[in-house]
Structure 1
Amino acid sequence: MKNAKLLTKGEIAFRRLSVVVLGFTSLIAILPFILIFMASITEEKSLTQYGYSFFPKQFSLDAYKYLVNQISTVGRAYLTSIGLTVVGTVGNMLLTTMFAYPLSREDFKYRGIFAFILFFTMLFNGGIVPSYMVWTRLLHIKDTYFALLLPNLLMGAFNVLLVRNYYKSNIPASIVESAQLDGAGELTIFWKIMLPLSVPVNVTVGLFAGLAYWNDWTNALYYIDNTKYYGIQNMLMRIMENITFLTSGQASRVVDTSAITVPSVGMRMALAVIGILPILVLYPFLQKYLIKGIVVGAVKG
């Protein structure tokens, strides 16, 4: 009994220490976001003179006013990113789970061949130039929304392995066998059994895919010339390039910039806030599924 009481006290002390450590770590993680936001609402001269601060000496919404003036451009880019993120995430989850399901079945005849092909793509790829030629000259996706949707992001080998491991370690084969004895086909088993029993890993894969689509800017850099197809990341980058040009000495050679006031430093911070805001809003609701899906899905393969 004495050892049990000592063990209980040790557990309590460990939990208290864990709370302190996790709280301190969380504070360190969230402080940069707070600093970015405070910098985005700080007057430009104050930023230049005093630098970044959690308690700005002069508040200003000039950066956000500039973005409001660009609402048609930024709004269209936001809608593009939202649409691509939703469609891409759903497509990624479907392809990933449908690929992972047969790989998790011991009775699938060609499981080893497809597993090798999947693993091979994790080690080798064709390179940027051959990929560009395939997508643009063979599939003709340049300057289309498919250029933002298909290359590099539609399915990942790591996610397939994560889902396969979850299926193997958390869904007993006896459930599948019972469904087969009841006359269920493979498609029915997949939709009615595998997907409902694998919500944590599905949410995890969906979050990975959603983050990848939302933060992607390389596809537009490679395959998009028409700015009407730009997502939010590329549009914000374009605005930032315009601001850099206006605040540089090169702009004075083309137009009179003496009357132009653009919050360059604060604008960078405002663009960062706008770009990351949707992820900050959604992540707390998906966190528990993310942790469970990663931990359980990576237990064994």
Structure 2
Amino acid sequence: MVTETAPPAKAHRPARHSPPAFNLRRLAIHCGLAIVALGFVTPLIIVLSASFSSESAITDNGYSPLPQRFSATAYRYVLGDPGKIVQAYGVSILVTVTGTIVSLTIMSMLAYTLSRNDYRLRRPLSFYVLFTMIFNGGLVPTYILITQYLHLQNTLLVLVLPYVVTPWYLLLLRTYFSQLPKDIMDAARIDGAGEWRVFTGIVLPLSKPALATVGLFVMLLYWNDWWLGLLYITDDRLAPLQLYLYRILTNIDYAASNSQLAGTTIAIPIQTVRMAVAVLAIGPIVAAFFFIQRFLIRGIALGGLKD
């Protein structure tokens, strides 16, 4: 009797995938993002390069990523009085740090209040905030209020208070707070936590990306502001950095235009001084960005606004 034996089963081999196509697509995406990033970084490199170039090289050859005929003349013009620029840096740093902390504290508390659906004055208060985004009192009434009634001229408070509550950033925080899980907050209230405990112990720790993002925007707002100083600061000791650099540019342009009208030629490095001013103005903010960029990336999409 002959017995038929079944052919041995073939060993199961895992299906081969084709990683090259996936890697090629990933490489293409990375190359595209690298090109975009290079497009953003190139202007900064050109500005830095031009600040260390000679005025004649820029006039003859234009701007380039590398310094042409290396020269620090522009920085000697800007840093001619080191004491004043250090003082201006101190004023800007003090105003920026104080304003950012105060602004985040007040806006986060107000945004949490507006995010509560059971708050009876939620809609009227939201309307009041939105109204200020559309209408304001005007420049002349605001100037009279600050100088004649509040007496804030030539004080550091006049550089801080106008930006303490920015409606757009307030609405961003309110939207983020309204999307936080309500179950955790209800559980904390059942355990006996008050609203302040819920806000400081649950809402703020869960909102670090939003707070870091809004904090960076507020920091930029305070650091780059020169308009308030131009209106309300006449004391040179209280001039912020941006106002101090603005006055340097104004004086250089005025000197250059007067020399041309008088028929004389004064070698003033106008173009390189402008680049040096830009480097001194944005340098600290660029350095601060690297410390909070991970929070900025996580919090840049705060969601759409909703009632």
Structure 1-normalised TM-score?
Answer: 0.89
Measure how far apart 1:222 and its partner are. Answer: 1.5
- Select which of 208, 216, 221 maps to 1:212: 221
Q: Residue 303 of structure 2 corresponds to which residue in structure 1?
A: 298
- Select which of 69, 75, 81 maps to 1:70: 81
1:163-178 aligned at under 5 Å gives the runs 163-169=173-179, 171-178=180-187
Letter of the aligned partner of 2:274 in structure 1?
A: R
Q: Residue 143 of structure 2 corresponds to which residue in structure 1?
A: 132
Q: Residue 56 of structure 2 corresponds to which residue in structure 1?
A: 45
Letter of the aligned partner of 2:287 in structure 1?
A: V
- Supply the distance in 2 between the matched residues of 1:300 and 1:144 (Cα, whole angstroms): 36
User: Does the Cα contact within 8 Å between 2:172 and 2:305 map onto a contact in 1?
Assistant: no
3-state SS of 2:300 partner: helix
Q: Residue 105 of structure 1 corresponds to which residue in structure 2?
A: 116
- Select which of 247, 252, 258 maps to 1:249: 258
User: Does the Cα contact within 8 Å between 2:108 and 2:173 map onto a contact in 1?
Assistant: yes
User: Does the Cα contact within 8 Å between 2:249 and 2:274 map onto a contact in 1?
Assistant: yes
The question of 1:23 aligning with 2:34 is answered yes
- Select which of 185, 189, 192 maps to 2:198: 189
- Select which of 40, 50, 66 maps to 1:55: 66
Letter of the aligned partner of 2:273 in structure 1?
A: M
- Select which of 181, 188, 203 maps to 2:212: 203
3-state SS of 1:26 partner: helix
- Supply the distance in 1 between the matched residues of 2:124 and 2:50 (Cα, whole angstroms): 53
Q: Deviation string for 1:142-195 (max 9, x for gaps)?
A: 1111111112x11111111111111121x2112121221222221121111111
3-state SS of 1:249 partner: helix
User: Does the Cα contact within 8 Å between 1:204 and 1:294 map onto a contact in 2?
Assistant: yes
Measure how far apart 1:16 and its partner are. Answer: 2.5
Q: Deviation string for 1:195-250 (max 9, x for gaps)?
A: 11111001011101000000001111221222221111010011112222333335
Q: Deviation string for 1:80-127 (max 9, x for gaps)?
A: 000000000001100110001111112212111111111222222222
Measure how far apart 1:299 and its partner are. Answer: 4.7
1:113-132 aligned at under 5 Å gives the runs 113-132=124-143
Matched residue count = 292
3-state SS of 2:234 partner: coil
The question of 1:240 aligning with 2:249 is answered yes
Letter of the aligned partner of 1:298 in structure 2?
A: G
The question of 1:271 aligning with 2:280 is answered no
User: What are structure 1's unaligned runs of at least 5 residues?
Assistant: none
Structure number with the higher helix fraction is 1
1:218-233 aligned at under 5 Å gives the runs 218-233=227-242
- Supply the distance in 2 between the matched residues of 1:231 and 1:57 (Cα, whole angstroms): 32
Letter of the aligned partner of 1:36 in structure 2?
A: V
Letter of the aligned partner of 1:280 in structure 2?
A: V
Q: Residue 160 of structure 1 corresponds to which residue in structure 2?
A: 170
Identity %: 38
3-state SS of 2:257 partner: coil
The question of 1:94 aligning with 2:100 is answered no
3-state SS of 2:65 partner: coil
Aligned-CA RMSD value: 2.4
Structure 2-normalised TM-score?
Answer: 0.87
